[in-house]
Amino acid sequence: MELLLLFIAAYLLGSTAWSVWLGKWFKGLDLREHGSGNAGATNSFRVLGTKIGIAVLVLDAFKGFLAVQLIAYSSYAGSAVHMLLIGFTAVLGHIFPLFVGFRGGKGIATLLGVVIALHPGAALLAMLTFLLSLLISRIVSVSSMAAAVSLPFWLVYRFQEPSQILVIFSIAIALLVLATHRKNIVRLFRGEENKVRFPSKARHEE
């Protein structure tokens, strides 16, 4: 019963659809009907603005982090397997949120929170991979996929992670991110994927 309650709590945490709620509270719109139609941080930045975008990013990451921390207050404390399962459940909650009709986001920010809770060092290197890829490609979806795919490599080759379960989980994360970005991949091949516009020095001086 305790384990079942943990899974339910993690799923409900993941289902807190901050991008949808903040969009309705502050802008009077459903984020899923605008921009890319995705209820995630990237579309929040694009449609709702920088301040709300940052709030969504932080809140979505925090719910993944908090879900993993729930294990520390249970009889399963210290169990890597249960931490992974709880974290994955929170991500599924974000992708299929109960509170907003099961139409959520891709789970990237929530995954980040889970990985930070599980392995801060690998999470940091994955974030650096994201930033480097974004500077080069200027495409958020490419950067998200690059960060996710890099995670197993950082764990194995940089940290020599002894936990096979954690490595397998990181591979599952990479596959999940690729699967949730199917439409983005199609748009990339068509040359239709949106690029981030960095402010130029001249524009900044104006």
58 and 6 part of one domain: yes
pLDDT tens-digit map of 168-201: 989 988 998 898 888 889 989 988 888 877 655 4
Task: Show Cβ contacts of residue 131 under 8 Å, excluding neighbours closer than 6 positions.
Answer: 143
Number of domains forming the structure of the chain: 2
Q: Which amino acid is at 138?
A: R
Q: Quick check: is 81 in a domain? A: yes
Whether residue 78 is found in the same domain as residue 125: no
Regarding whether 73 and 143 lie in a shared domain, the answer is no
Residues 9 and 81 in one domain: yes
Q: Please report whether residue 113 resides in a domain.
A: no
Q: For 25-47, write each residue's pLDDT tens digit.
A: 999 999 999 988 889 888 998 89
Residues 144, 89: one domain? no
Domain check: are 41 and 98 in the same one? yes
- State which of 106, 127, 152 marks the end of a domain: 106
Query: Residue 206: its pLDDT value, please?
Result: 40
Distances in whole angstroms, Cα of residue 186 to Cα of each of 31, 144, 178, 181, 182: 22, 15, 12, 9, 6
Segment holding 67, helix H or strand E: helix 50-69
Range of the structural domain that residue 77 is part of:
1-106
What pTM value is reported for the model? Answer: 0.85
Is the pLDDT at 155 greater than 80? The verdict is yes
Residues 97 and 136 in one domain: no
